[in-house]
Amino acid sequence: MAHSDIHYFGIRHHGPGSSKRLLAALEQLQPQYILIEGPADCSDLLPLLAHQQMKPPVALLSYAVEHAQSSIFYPFAEYSPEYQASVWAKQQQIPSAFIDLPIAVRLAQMQAEQLHSEDEEHTNAEQLTPNNNQSDGKSDDQSNNQENTPQLTALLRDPIGVLANIAGYQDAEAWWNDLIEQNRDDSLAIFEQVEHAMTALRQPVAQDSPELAHDHQREAFMRLEIAKIAKLCDGPIAVICGAWHVPALKAKHSAKDDRALIKALPKKLAASKHKSTWIPWTSARLATQTGYGAGVAAPMWYQHLWQHRQQDDHIAPWLVFIAQNLREQGAVISTASVIEAQRLCLSLAAVRDRPQPSFEEITDAVISCMCFGEHALWEQIHNTVLLGHQVGQIPDDTDLVPLLEDLQKRQKKYKLKPEALAREHSLDLRSDIGQNKSILLHQLQLLNVPWGELLDSGSSRGTFREKWRLTWQPEFAIKLVEHIVYGSTIEQAANNKVMASLAKEQNLAVLADSVLNCLTANLSQATEFGLTQLTLRAGQVSDCNDLLTSIAPLIDISRYGSARTLSLSQIDALIERLAIQAALALPYACRNLNDEEAQHVQQNINSAHRALVLHLGDTDILAKWWQAIEAIAHSDQSSYLLIGLCARLLYQNERLSREQLSTMLDKMLSPALPPAQAARFFDGFFTDSVDQLLYDSLLLNAINNWLLQLEETTFVEFLPLFRRVFSNLDAMERKRLFDTLFNNKAHAEIVQNIDTNQHTYWQQHMEKLAKLAQRNKDWLA
């Protein structure tokens, strides 16, 4: 049975003007069923859109469970006609449904395309993924087809925008407004006019052009869906879809042809393999600037238009809003300027023959009157004003992606609100709540969701304070969804993800670092696994550098772990084992190195030494370590840079006497040795400890003699080295050094003569103080 009472409303996605007219038209028509362009298999999610707690901007997210990276979003703003229609349907208590191709088919298509492109170009596969992520489900996602003629693409994306451009408007909404507000006749007629325009626009497009193939399928599907629902329903039906599709939906096609068209579609994904839900969106993401296809240039302006749709004067509030923003930036904007801007808007609109000022006029007027003609000033606030920082909200009882659900739960529990605007948080790790917050943020970081940015990372480790900067991006929700393969809670997913990467990791140092990260993120499972891995790998590692670099983070873990109340008995054993291994391998690792390698080893020895001395105290293992250092220092085969370093470490710890050092210096700096070798020794010895020269005459004399006997050319050759080493001294120290060298002053300063005559006075003085300490009142006597 044919149903004749079907009404088609061609709207502009995200057009507040469309919404306003649509609502009026719906009131007039009082349909019994509302059909909306959107994935048919998500229809049961549609009533949620009208939920009281649903606060746009929100988006319908659909993703393939096994390939969470293939996902599609259908964003809705408060002013989206689709959103308003669904709210209306809920108020009137009439059913509504989506009628576009099911998400199961779209995802299957997407995966097929991905496979296709991966076959074509393995290397580019990564780049194509984000492309698919961005693709817009609602409008016509032809983005995969790179050979689109730009005109046709524009037409498919925003046909009303194209019409507006033809009419000389930059902003499609202004055109729609002028066109429609001028003709204040009944709303139904307006949609007819829009349909005529679309028919005219569609005419010249070749029906068989490849860009349209996808559209044809979609339209065929929608026709079938409409027919199906028409059979169930008696009253008038309202079909709300992109204006572009109206002529095609209205055209007569036999159901048989349509079915044939749909046959060509890939097979649906099984219901268990895809999932759809609502996620919060941000106003900024609605904008075209962020790469989203059918977006709007100025979401906040549209929002404003929508909010003030019932008022005649919506310009003044907008100008005041801009003025406030400018004032926040420090510009002095008087009320008089705002009034002048308003007047200029009006006269500009008159000059341009427009019924009322639109976005363009207002921008021009603002620049001229409020920014004193300076574009730079406007650009400063342009993003805040036009894009805004709104984040949508979804009802508490929405069927959430499990990870998101977990996140929301913890956000609520720890009182961390997702906000688009950056905000700094200082956490006290001694309190439970602070620690919990920190753990959550660290776990999210491991899941590639950098909601928080640790501001003073590194220095804060081990202290009780952390400073974070929190900025929530809607992409984070998507990233979380991608990680759903790892587990259904954030902690579990983070644990599993880290464990997966730990299992593959061969490098000891990276392993040790990851374990440290796991600790801060309180992932006990992954930490334990990491430690096991470390123990396993430690046996296999022969490269001394790996051993050395893993020691410092492990010692960090050991010290940090005890502060975090985590049992880490095996970690100390591991450190000891690694230290022994390193100590054994070290002397050999210091041989036959070129300069670059030697420097690398130098750094590693330095960091490991510092950590070991701190951690091990006086143990046998430390003794082993010192043996290794000694072996390096006394071996002719070691790199001279490292000999220098080790000699200094020994000397500083009084494991090398002055006599021994003196002999060593003479030997290393003797004229027979090539100056390059001597310079390396010098480098190793004095890098980071040149201040030793200030109070050690032995060293000073040795170096002084060596430098003096260098030939001029050699001296010049090593000048950069000397400059580098001596630049560690500050101005005062350098002066002291020069004084010592040239005036022999320093000795006079340092030498202290003890005046024994004063001895008795001291004795008395101390006795008095002792009395005072005993609170004896007559201590002065």
Residues making contact with other proteins (CB under 8 A): 332, 334, 336-337, 340, 343-344, 347-348, 350-353, 360, 364-365, 368-369, 372-375
Smaller CB separation from other proteins, 217 or 337: 337
- What letter does residue 393 receive in the DSSP assignment? B
Smaller CB separation from other proteins, 83 or 301: 301
The Cα–Cα gap between 704 and 650 comes to 22
**Residue 223: strand pairing partners:** none
CB of 340 to other proteins, least distance (A): 6
CB of 172 to other proteins, least distance (A): 17
Sequence length of the chain is 781
Query: How big is the chain by its Cα radius of gyration, in Å?
Result: 37
Can you spell out the DSSP letters for 650-714? HHHTTSS-HHHHHHHHHHHT-TTS-HHHHHHHHHHHHTT-TTHHHH-HHHHHHHHHHHHHS-HHH
The Cα–Cα gap between 4 and 21 comes to 23
CB of 312 to other proteins, least distance (A): 20
Closest CA to 703 of 724, 726, 720: 726
The Cα–Cα gap between 575 and 279 comes to 46
Which runs of consecutive H residues, i.e. helices, occur in 55-169? 81-92, 103-120, 125-134, 150-157, 159-166
CB of 338 to other proteins, least distance (A): 11
The Cα–Cα gap between 20 and 301 comes to 15
Can you point out the beta strands (E) in 257-342? Answer: 274-280
CB of 311 to other proteins, least distance (A): 23
What type of residue sits at position 220? A
CB of 745 to other proteins, least distance (A): 50
SS3 420: coil
Smaller CB separation from other proteins, 141 or 361: 361
Smaller CB separation from other proteins, 343 or 412: 343
Beta carbons of 682 and 714 less than 8 angstroms apart: no
CB of 364 to other proteins, least distance (A): 5
CB of 319 to other proteins, least distance (A): 14
- What φ, ψ does residue 734 adopt, rounded to 5°? -65, -40
Beta carbons of 82 and 99 less than 8 angstroms apart: no
* Phi/psi-derived region of residue 453, left when phi > 0, alpha when psi is between -120 and 50, beta in every other case: beta
CB of 362 to other proteins, least distance (A): 12
CB of 181 to other proteins, least distance (A): 21
- What residue has token string 């609109």? 349
Can you spell out the DSSP letters for 555-575? HHHHHHHHHTT---HHHHHHH
The Cα–Cα gap between 243 and 285 comes to 23
Smaller CB separation from other proteins, 180 or 369: 369
CB of 355 to other proteins, least distance (A): 14
Cis amide linkage into residue 355, ω under 30° from 0: no
CB of 361 to other proteins, least distance (A): 8
Smaller CB separation from other proteins, 319 or 568: 319
Smaller CB separation from other proteins, 291 or 373: 373
Can you spell out the DSSP letters for 610-651? HHHHHHH-S-HHHHHHHHHHHHHHH-TTB-HHHHHHHHHHHH
- What letter does residue 468 receive in the DSSP assignment? E
The Cα–Cα gap between 402 and 418 comes to 17
Q: Hey, CA dihedral for 599, 603, 604, 610, is it positive or negative?
A: positive
Smaller CB separation from other proteins, 231 or 343: 343
And the tokens for 262?
Answer: 């749909």
CB of 381 to other proteins, least distance (A): 17
Smaller CB separation from other proteins, 334 or 463: 334
Smaller CB separation from other proteins, 340 or 572: 340
Smaller CB separation from other proteins, 209 or 334: 334
Smaller CB separation from other proteins, 284 or 365: 365
What type of residue sits at position 683? D
CB of 351 to other proteins, least distance (A): 4
Can you point out the beta strands (E) in 471-606? Answer: none
Smaller CB separation from other proteins, 364 or 399: 364
CB of 302 to other proteins, least distance (A): 21
Angle at 685 between CA 682 and CA 689, to 5 degrees: 120
Beta carbons of 534 and 508 less than 8 angstroms apart: yes
